[in-house]
């Protein structure tokens, strides 16, 4: 467990800057950093009040420590606690969170603190973007997925009954505090699913990092120094892509490696706990590598190496192992076509020319995808 910090002390942190001009901010990463949250906020926004938005599960584990850190820095805070799970990215919960922020008299100059996984980050970030036309907010990600992905880059939002993440805004936080010790309470399955996004950074653009992960993933899972290092590498990777393409007009799309196939599988499982997002992305990345090999873009052995690592950590890589259950090819093709990355009949996929060499291919023939999936489903 992390050593408690004295009041106001700033824990040893790795700081990754996100270079976005006047919207620039820091990601502080390290074991035990939650104790420094209050001091960090006070340094950025002296005199600000906070509303902490969290879910009941995270509250049970980490809310008291977050509140204690704010109190120690002399910061008044309110708590807004919602049920855990994707269901809270709804109009109804969004409304409740906004009303509670207003009732807590959080005004311009005050802060929202998103304490939780990607659900809380997206929900609280969107409430921050909306209440009083925009309040500043701080991300305190508590899942591996949130520490390497959703807390960085400013995409916020909720789900529509017609589809995931359809209502939202770009709204950058003013600070991200990623305390890697908070992941010690995360269920193993959620941790492993988040790891798919860690591997994604290596697979899409950093072959050396992927090779490092092949050697060091066990220490990362165990909470050793590899965990901080890996999270910092991922945040640096995402921060540099976001700094060059904040609103996803180009390069940011590479972060969607494995996500076209993955989203279709998630939708088929009804976005339920049967198939976690990271599990779907593991399956999707294995398919993207396989499809790239079939197109002759990458050697089969290289695709197998990518897949072997995902399998080694216990992630699913074969459609027959999909815990959500895989539908037939017609349904899969329908779901792929509904994905947002479709333009005039052609499909857009992130494909690879090697480990660490992803690129956007916006002219994929649906018939080729269908033939590929038909083969995979009969394998």
Q: How many residues does the chain have?
A: 379
Smallest distance from ligand NAD to CB 157, Å:
7
Smallest distance from ligand NAD to CB 158, Å:
9
SS3 79: strand
Binding track over 18-57 against ligand NAD, x by CB under 6 A: -------------------------------------x-x
Smallest distance from ligand NAD to CB 370, Å:
27
Q: Is 258 an interacting residue with respect to ligand NAD (CB under 6 A)?
A: no
Q: Is 77 an interacting residue with respect to ligand NAD (CB under 6 A)?
A: no
Which is nearer to ligand NAD, 118 or 258 (by Cβ)? Answer: 118
Binding track over 123-142 against ligand NAD, x by CB under 6 A: -------------------x
For residues 75 and 206, the answer to whether their CB atoms sit within 8 Å is no
Quickly list DSSP for 140-184: EE-SHHIIIIITSS-EEEEEETTEEEEEEEE---SEEEEEGGGGG
Q: State which of residues 30, 32, 38, 84 lies at the interface with ligand NAD (CB under 6 A).
A: 84
Ranges assigned E (strand) in the chain: 14-18, 25-30, 50-55, 77-82, 111-116, 136-141, 155-160, 163-170, 175-179, 342-343, 346-352, 358-364
Cα-Cα-Cα-Cα dihedral sign, residues 225, 229, 234, 236 = positive
Smallest distance from ligand NAD to CB 152, Å:
7
Q: Which of 259, 266, 307, 309 is an active site residue? A: 259
Smallest distance from ligand NAD to CB 371, Å:
30
**Which class for 199: exposed (0-12), middle (13-18), buried (19 or more C-beta within 10 A)?**
buried
* Residues within the interface to ligand NAD (CB under 6 A): 55, 57-58, 61, 84-86, 89, 116-120, 122, 142-143, 145-146, 149-150, 153, 155, 165, 182-183, 185-186, 190, 277
Active-site annotation, residues: 133, 155, 197, 238, 248, 252, 256, 259, 263, 277
């Amino acid at each position: 467990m992390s050593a408690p910090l004295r009041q106001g002390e700033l824990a040893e942190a790795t700081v990754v800057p996100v270079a976005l001009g006047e919207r620039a901010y820091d990601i502080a990463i390290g074991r035990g950093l939650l104790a420094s949250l209050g001091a960090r906020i006070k340094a950025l926004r002296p005199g600000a009040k906070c509303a902490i938005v969290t879910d009941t599960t995270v509250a049970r584990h980490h809310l008291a420590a977050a509140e204690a850190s704010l109190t120690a820095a002399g910061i008044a805070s309110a708590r807004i606690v919602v049920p855990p799970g994707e269901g809270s990215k709804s109009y109804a919960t969004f409304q409740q969170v906004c009303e509670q922020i207003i009732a807590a008299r959080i005004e311009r100059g005050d802060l929202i603190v998103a304490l939780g996984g990607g659900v809380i980050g997206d929900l609280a970030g969107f409430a921050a973007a909306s209440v009083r036309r925009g309040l500043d907010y701080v991300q305190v990600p508590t899942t591996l997925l949130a520490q390497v992905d959703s807390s960085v880059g400013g995409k916020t939002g909720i789900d529509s009954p017609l589809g995931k993440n359809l209502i939202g805004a770009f709204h950058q936080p003013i600070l991200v505090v990623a305390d890697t010790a908070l992941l010690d309470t995360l269920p193993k399955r959620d941790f492993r699913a988040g790891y798919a996004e860690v591997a994604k950074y290596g697979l899409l653009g950093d072959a050396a990092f992927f090779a490092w992960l092949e050697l060091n993933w066990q220490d990362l899972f165990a909470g050793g120094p590899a965990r901080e290092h890996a999270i910092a590498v991922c945040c640096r990777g995402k921060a540099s892509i976001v700094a060059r393409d904040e609103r996803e007009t180009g390069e940011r799309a590479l972060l969607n490696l494995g996500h076209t196939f993955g989203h279709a599988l998630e939708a088929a499982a009804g976005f339920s706990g049967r198939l976690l997002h990271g599990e779907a992305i593991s399956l999707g990345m294995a398919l993207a590598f396989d499809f790239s090999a079939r197109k002759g873009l990458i050697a089969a052995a290289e695709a197998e190496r990518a897949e072997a690592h995902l399998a080694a950590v216990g992630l699913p890589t074969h459609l027959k192992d999909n815990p959500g259950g895989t539908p037939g090819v017609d349904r899969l093709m329908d779901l792929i076509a509904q994905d947002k990355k479709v333009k005039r009949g052609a499909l857009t996929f992130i494909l690879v020319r090697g480990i660490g060499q992803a690129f956007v291919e916006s002219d994929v023939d649906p018939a080729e995808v269908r033939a590929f999936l038909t083969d995979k489903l009969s394998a």
